[in-house]
Structure 1
Amino acid sequence: MRRFLLVLSLYWVCGQSYAELPKLSYLSEDAYPINYRSNNGQASGFSVELLKLIWQQLGEPEHSVKIMPWDRAYYLLGQKPNTVLFATVHTPKRAPYFKWVCAIDNVNIVLMGNNKRHPKLSSLKQLNHLKIGVLRADVGEQILLNNGIEDENLMFSDSYRHLIKLLLAKRVDFIAGSEQTIRHAAKQNNYSLKHYEVSWVLQEQELCYAFNNAVDDAVIGQFQRALEEVKQGSAFKQLLTRYQQQKLNH
C-alpha cells in the first residue's frame, strides 16, 4: 500500500510539472484587439497577454513576439520548424498542416459592404459578378474559394488599411475579415465606415496558436494543458474582462 501511495504521489508531482521547452519563434499580425502592435512598438492584445500567462504557467521567461504582415507570417509558419503563429483561425482545411493549441477565442469572419450601394446578401452566389477584397492567405480568402467564389472575383491586399481604402474607393464591393479589426483599422486611419455594415457572416471559427508540424507533440501537449489551467485562474478572468471591454469600446 505504501509503495502504491508513493507511486501515486510521484505521478501527481510529475503530472503537474513541465519539461523545458525548445526555442520557439513567435509570430503574430496587427489585428486589434486580439493581437496588434502597440504605440510603443511592442506586441500586445488579448492573445499576447494570454500567451504570457501560459509562459508563466510553463515556468518560461517571456519571449519576443514579431508582428508582421499575415501572408509573410503564414508562409514562415509552414516553412520554419519551431515556429508559432497566432491568433490563427482553425479550419478543417488548415487543420492537417499545423499543430494546434486551442482555443484563444471565437471570431466571426464577415463580408462588409456599403449598405446603400448593396443590399444584404441572401446567397454567396450573388458574389459571382462582384469584387471582394481579401487579405492574402487569410481565412476570408480560403472560405470564399472553398465556397466556389472564383479567384478573379478576389482582390488581394496585405493589410486591413489597404482593404478599407479599396472599399471606400469602390474598387471592391465587399471586404472580408473580422468586423472588430476592420472597424479599428478604419478608426486608426481616420476612415469613416458610417454607411458600411456586415452583409454576410461567412463563418464563426476558433482562434488558436498554430505550430509548425515539426514541433514535438509533447510540447503541444504542454501548451494545451497550460492553456486549460490558465483559463481556470483569476488572472485569465481579469484579462477576459479587459478584452471584452475593449471590444465594447470600439
Structure 2
Amino acid sequence: MRHLLPPLLVAAFVLIAAIPARADALADPATHLTYMTEQYWPMNYSRNGRLAGLSVDLLRRMWREMGVPEQPIHLFPWPRAYDMGHVDPRTMLFSMYRTKGREPDFKWVGPIVQGKTEVFTLRSRHLSARSLKDLDGWRLAAVRDVASANILRDAGLRYTGSRTPDTAIGMLTRDRVDAVAMDALQFHHFAALLGRPGGEFKPIMTLCTDPLYFAFSLDTPDALIERFQKALDAVTRQPDYRALLDHYLN
C-alpha cells in the first residue's frame, strides 16, 4: 500500500526546496541596485502603464542573460533621476549620454546606440548659427541636467532650464526662446505629441554625437559592471538583435 505524505509536510518540502534559489537571487548584487529611467522615446518610456523602449528591452534581456529576475524600474523626470544617480548609492540610470564631462562621475556599460543632440529653431524665424559662440545673446532652453544643457553651460551660455522636453519645446513655439538644445529623437517625438508639424522646426547645429550608455553609481562593484557589460555584449550577438533595433529606431 502506498504511503501518502500529509499535505502540510509536502508543502514544507516544496518551500524548503525553493529557499536556496530564493536566497541566491537575493544575494546577487544586481538585485540590490535601484534602476531608474525617464520618459525618453524610443529608448525608455511608459506605454499602457508598462515601461518599454530599446534600453528597457535590452536591460531585461541582460537580466535574463545574467540569471537575474526582472527588477523594478523607477520612472522619474530626468533632473530628479540624475540627482539621485549622483547622490544615492547602488543606482543604475539610463539612457545617458557618455560625455567627457560625465565620464568620471559614473561607471559605464554600453554603448546602447549612438546619440545626437542638436539646436532647434522655428523655421519661420530664419535664424542661423555656425558655432556655440554665435549663440551668445540668444534666448536658449534645454532640459536641466541633460547633455545638451551641460554643453551650453560649459560654453558659458545662459539658458532657461526646463523640467521636461515638452515644456522646452512649448517655450520655443510661444516665442519665449529663440532655440532649444535637445536630443534629436526626443525633440521630434515630443513636438509630434504637441501636434506640431516637423516642418515647423529646423536643426541649425549639432552639439554632440556621443553614445548612450547605462550609467552606474561609482560605488557599484567592478565585477558587477563587468557582468552587465558581458551580458550586453551577449545580447547584441543574438540573432534577433537587429530586429530589435529596427523595431524601435526605424
TM-score clears 0.5: yes
Partner of 2:23: none
Deviations 1:142-171 (A, max 9, x none): 11122232xxx2011011110111000111
Give yes or no for the alignment of 1:91 onto 2:99: yes
Q: Identify which of 45, 51, 68 aligns with 1:36.
A: 45
Is 2:77–2:164's contact at 8 Å kept on the other side of the alignment? yes
Matches for 1:96-135 after TM superposition, within 5 Å: 96-135=104-143
In the TM superposition, residue 188 of structure 1 has moved relative to its aligned partner by 1.6
Report the 3-state secondary structure (helix = DSSP H, G, I; strand = E; otherwise coil) of the residue aligned with 1:106: coil
Partner of 2:248: 243
More strand by share: 1
Matches for 1:163-178 after TM superposition, within 5 Å: 163-178=168-183
Report the 3-state secondary structure (helix = DSSP H, G, I; strand = E; otherwise coil) of the residue aligned with 2:115: strand
Instruction: Give the TM-score normalised by the residue count of structure 1.
Output: 0.85
Deviations 1:127-148 (A, max 9, x none): 1110111111111111112223
In the TM superposition, residue 190 of structure 1 has moved relative to its aligned partner by 2.0
Q: Identify which of 203, 220, 228 aligns with 1:223.
A: 228
Q: Identify which of 143, 146, 166 aligns with 1:138.
A: 146
In the TM superposition, residue 120 of structure 1 has moved relative to its aligned partner by 2.7
Q: In structure 2, give the amino acid aligned to 1:164.
A: I
Q: In structure 2, give the amino acid aligned to 1:175.
A: V
Is 2:96–2:215's contact at 8 Å kept on the other side of the alignment? yes
Deviations 1:201-245 (A, max 9, x none): 001001000001111110001001111111111132221121232
Give yes or no for the alignment of 1:183 onto 2:225: no
Identity %: 31
Larger radius of gyration: 2
Residues 1:118 and 1:124: Cα distance change in structure 2 (over 3 Å): farther
Is 2:123–2:199's contact at 8 Å kept on the other side of the alignment? no
Partner of 2:156: 148
Partner of 1:213: 218
Partner of 1:66: 74
Q: Identify which of 77, 84, 104 aligns with 1:76.
A: 84
Alpha-carbon RMSD across the aligned residues, in angstroms, is 1.6
Q: Identify which of 199, 203, 213 aligns with 1:198.
A: 203
Partners of 1:41 and 1:201 in 2: CA distance: 34
